Amino acid sequence: MKAVMASYLSFVVLLCVDVCVVRTLGGARFSPQLDQQAWVTLWAVGLIRAALLLLTVFSYPGSPAWLRSSEGVQTVLVHSLLYPAYITFLCTCGCSALELLWGWHTWEGLLQSYAVLALSLLLWKRYVPSILPEEKIKTQKKGKTPLQRLLGYVKPYRGRFTAIISLVILSSLGEMAVPHYTGKITDWIMKEDEPEAFSNAIKIMSIMTVMSAVLEFVCDLIYNITMSLIHTSIQSQVFQCVLKQEIAFFDKTETGKIVSRITTDTNTMSESLSDELSLLMWYFCRIVFLLSSMLYLSVRLTTFTILGLPIIWIIPEFTGKFYQKHSVKVQDSLAEANSVATETFSSMKTVRSFANEDGETERYRKCLEHTYSLNKVEAAAYAASTWTNSMSSLALKVSILYYGGQLVAGNDVSSGDLVSFVLYELQFNSAIEALMSYYPRVKKAIGASEKIFEYVERQPDIPPEGSLAPEKLKGHVRFNNVTFAYPTRANENILKGVNLELEPGKVTALVGPADAGKSTIVRLLERFYQPQGGEILLDEEKLVNYKDEYLHEKISVVSQEPVLFARSIKENIKYGRENASDEEVEKAARLASAHEFINGFPNGYDTDAGEKGNKVSGGQKQRIAIARALIHKPQILVLDDATSDLDDRNVHMVHQALLNKSSERTILLITHRMSGVELADNVIFLRAGEVVEQGTHDELLQKKGAYAEFVQQQNTGFHRKANGTADAELSS
């Protein structure tokens, strides 16, 4: 409370010091030499005023911290030197400022100076970089602004943009011909002489206008082609960065939102980037040439025009922020709606089986209604921004025309120059209005790009990739006291001090009830996640020390519900090894007992598997997935309930092909079928994330422990199911 009171008191002290300095120095009389140079006097007074205020700030113990910072120093400097800068500007323009020297220290002048200070500080903070850069340079080094990131994609095409800017400059120069020669023609018409000059002016104006249009066409062609390349580059980089994220990222983030970021948000960002660059090139060049022409014709009219520009600049600063805030909300709402649609279509069979089409439609409709409500606010914000820009530009235009008429009446400018200036001024205002109308769209691009760059700049939460890639891998795996919990359930340990070993040339069966942690062990072996405790060794080296690409070449996993892509069966089998020959594809399919049914399709191996393999049965999908794993010739093969949809005959064939001919390959088998477990060299029984028993199938049965009890429960459940099926057949 005392600190707050001291802070308020410091402002009172500063105000009193400022008023005393102004009234004292303002009432003093200076030498006649200084009186003749009013702006020199004011600069001296301004510097004294700034020095005394800064001395008060740093000597008074209650001054707030921000006043002692670079921002506070800037505030004092702007406040003290603003009026001297104004007088200097008037003197430079040829105006007499002597009479203003004795009015700046009055109470009216003080109030006006504080009102202008607020406006000046807003413009200063928005458009002028810091002159005391200790803090801001550090901030800038921490990360680029979204606009800087967007412009970073332009750098590879610097040569093209150099040519584009050159064409823009030449085209803009050509556009200056019409107002210039229109003014000249006006003077010639009023003088009623020089008919040859009149016709020459028409010819030159026509030639320059045509050349300007041709150059603009060539520039637009090169620009649009270049922007298409930039859009492709952005979308490709976002997609690539998403693919590099850890598996936990995809567990936490809905697929629909990821797709929306890559497609919808990227398109919005690229289009806005294109508009921004176009405005920066075309309108900036035009404004520079127009302003130069206006200054050449009339400094007073140009000064009057420039003084009205802050109004046009400040208004979008407020309306643009409001629009940017709601554009981000709209993007989030669209991503949520896309997520609902993606989830529904990807689970269409489940939706249809529960007859929940109406429920999903209602869910999607609510998302669209929420998006619509946000769109209404966004549209109102955009309309308000555009309207305020138009009204402020119109008021400025009317004022300039009125002042220009007075100058014409006073013969300060010629009629032709006035016509040229008015045409230049109209184009100048149009260029400013265009920039200000597109300003909210730039805010929208920034709002969309912030979401996208979260993916681009996000560092995967995985250890750095190792460097090991030995020519020969034995495939000896050891889990040493491994503890693990999924990121989405950090407080729930799925594995609790697991110790197990997978030996080369042997089949290890991992058995246990549901939620025992069997599939989790497979995910850790694939290095999808990192254990919170313990370590995983591969050939006595830590798993994290191996290269990712090498590791996934040597370890192949077939899950219970494998994913096939909407491609041919051959392309699915060759997935990840596109250079495999047709002979290798067929050999892998034979080992997986898939060759026979594949040849039964009309198009054989060229048959389309459909989205997620929906054009083949569950058992066929599993056998194709097994063939896809075998074509990589892995040293470690993991079958995670990979034969659950196969009949006994095909299961027997697959087991005979893989388990009895394993050679030196390490095989981990997760299954509920006892026929596969009986073929295993070692059985590990897992329950509640802990290894309970291990040994051969016969040894564990003789122990009559947890494994034997589990097997008995499985057999009992199987017989009950079989008897229930038989009873149903008899009753029918």
Quick one: which H or E segment has residue 175?
Answer: helix 158-175
Whether the per-residue pLDDT at 408 is higher than 50: the answer is: yes
Give the whole-angstrom CA distance, residue 334 versus residue 370: 9
CA-based Rg of the chain, rounded to a whole angstrom?
A: 39
Task: Check residues 23 and 640 and name the one with the higher pLDDT.
Answer: 640
Let me know whether 698 and 563 are in one domain.
yes
Whether the per-residue pLDDT at 727 is higher than 80: the answer is: no
> How much helix, strand and coil, in percent to the nearest 5, is found in the chain?
70, 10, 20
Angle between helical axes of 648-658 and 618-630 (0-180°, round to 10): 10
Let me know whether 387 and 432 are in one domain.
yes
Task: Check residues 137 and 445 and name the one with the higher pLDDT.
Answer: 445
Of 136-145, 373-382, 383-392, 691-700, the one with minimum mean pLDDT is 136-145
Q: What is the pLDDT of residue 563?
A: 80
Let me know whether 67 and 172 are in one domain.
no
Give the whole-angstrom CA distance, residue 163 versus residue 179: 26
676 closest CA partner among 470, 509, 426, 451: 509
Whether the per-residue pLDDT at 128 is higher than 80: the answer is: no
Whether the per-residue pLDDT at 16 is higher than 60: the answer is: yes
Q: What is the pLDDT of residue 118?
A: 67
Cα–Cα distances in angstroms (integers) from residue 695 to residues 466, 506, 637, 666, in the given order: 34, 13, 20, 17
Q: What is the CATH number of the domain that holds 621?
A: 3.40.50.300
CB 694 within 8 A of CB 682: yes
**Model confidence pTM above 0.75:** no
CB 320 within 8 A of CB 385: yes
Burial state string for 397-432 with b = 16 or more CB within 10 A and e = fewer than 16 = beebeeebeebeeeeebeebbbbbbbbbbebbbebb
Q: What is the pLDDT of residue 483?
A: 92
In a domain, 591, yes or no: yes
Whether the per-residue pLDDT at 76 is higher than 50: the answer is: yes
Let me know whether 76 and 191 are in one domain.
no
Of 57-66, 74-83, 217-226, the one with minimum mean pLDDT is 57-66
Quick one: which H or E segment has residue 110?
Answer: helix 107-127
Query: Residues 175-202: what's their mean pLDDT?
Result: 74
CB 210 within 8 A of CB 177: no
Strand partners of residue 684: 510, 694
Most confident of 157-166, 401-410, 438-447: 157-166
Phi, psi of 441 (to 5 degrees): -70, -35
CB 113 within 8 A of CB 82: yes
Q: Computed from CA positions of residues 675, 681, 687, 688, in that sequence, does the dihedral angle turn out positive or negative? A: negative
Q: What is the pLDDT of residue 94?
A: 54
- What does the block give as tokens for 564? 């096939």
Give the whole-angstrom CA distance, residue 127 versus residue 89: 19
Q: Structurally, how many domains does the chain consist of?
A: 3
CB 215 within 8 A of CB 281: no
Give the whole-number percent of the chain exceeding pLDDT 70. 76
Whether the per-residue pLDDT at 664 is higher than 50: the answer is: yes
Give the whole-angstrom CA distance, residue 260 versus residue 638: 34
Let me know whether 136 and 89 are in one domain.
yes
Give the whole-angstrom CA distance, residue 205 versus residue 211: 10
Q: What is the pLDDT of residue 95?
A: 56
Instruction: Report residue 65's pLDDT band, with 50, 70 and 90 as the boundaries.
Output: confident
In a domain, 467, yes or no: no
CB 544 within 8 A of CB 463: yes
Whether the per-residue pLDDT at 195 is higher than 80: the answer is: no
Let me know whether 191 and 243 are in one domain.
yes
Let me know whether 424 and 531 are in one domain.
no
- What does the block give as tokens for 535? 């370590």
Quick one: which H or E segment has residue 457?
Answer: helix 415-457
In a domain, 471, yes or no: no
Task: Check residues 102 and 160 and name the one with the higher pLDDT.
Answer: 160
Domain that holds residue 203: 145-457
Give the whole-angstrom CA distance, residue 337 versus residue 346: 14
Let me know whether 241 and 381 are in one domain.
yes
What rounded mean pLDDT belongs to the chain? 76
Give the whole-angstrom CA distance, residue 555 versus residue 639: 11
Q: Which residues are CB-contacts of 610 (< 8 A; sequence separation ≥ 6)?
A: 564, 566, 616
Q: Going by DSSP bridges, is the β-strand pair 666-670/636-640 parallel, antiparallel, or unpaired?
A: parallel
Q: What is the pLDDT of residue 89?
A: 66
Give the whole-angstrom CA distance, residue 685 versus residue 415: 100
Domain stops at, among 141, 164, 197: 141
Task: Check residues 622 and 114 and name the one with the higher pLDDT.
Answer: 622
Instruction: Report residue 719's pLDDT band, with 50, 70 and 90 as the boundaries.
Output: very low
Go through the chain and tell me how many residues it has: 732
Whether the per-residue pLDDT at 14 is higher than 80: the answer is: no
Quick one: which H or E segment has residue 684?
Answer: strand 682-687
Let me know whether 304 and 218 are in one domain.
yes
Cα–Cα distances in angstroms (integers) from residue 732 to residues 424, 455, 573, 720, in the given order: 93, 58, 42, 18
Cα–Cα distances in angstroms (integers) from residue 428 to residues 205, 209, 406, in the given order: 19, 18, 21
Domain stops at, among 105, 124, 141: 141
Let me know whether 57 and 182 are in one domain.
no
In a domain, 322, yes or no: yes
Let me know whether 385 and 405 are in one domain.
yes
Angle between helical axes of 299-307 and 357-409 (0-180°, round to 10): 150
Task: Check residues 696 and 679 and name the one with the higher pLDDT.
Answer: 696
Fill in the amino acid letter for 413. Answer: V
Instruction: Report residue 54's pLDDT band, with 50, 70 and 90 as the boundaries.
Output: confident
Query: Residues 671-679: what's their mean pLDDT?
Result: 74
In a domain, 465, yes or no: no
In a domain, 463, yes or no: no
Of 456-470, 629-643, 691-705, the one with minimum mean pLDDT is 456-470
Q: What is the pLDDT of residue 444?
A: 65
Domain stops at, among 428, 457, 486: 457
Query: Residues 252-271: what's their mean pLDDT?
Result: 78
Q: What is the pLDDT of residue 8?
A: 60
Whether the per-residue pLDDT at 130 is higher than 60: the answer is: no
- What does the block give as tokens for 607? 């048959």
Q: What is the CATH number of the domain that holds 372?
A: 1.20.1560.10
Let me know whether 489 and 436 are in one domain.
no
Whether the per-residue pLDDT at 208 is higher than 50: the answer is: yes
Q: What is the pLDDT of residue 28?
A: 54
Give the whole-angstrom CA distance, residue 642 versus residue 620: 11
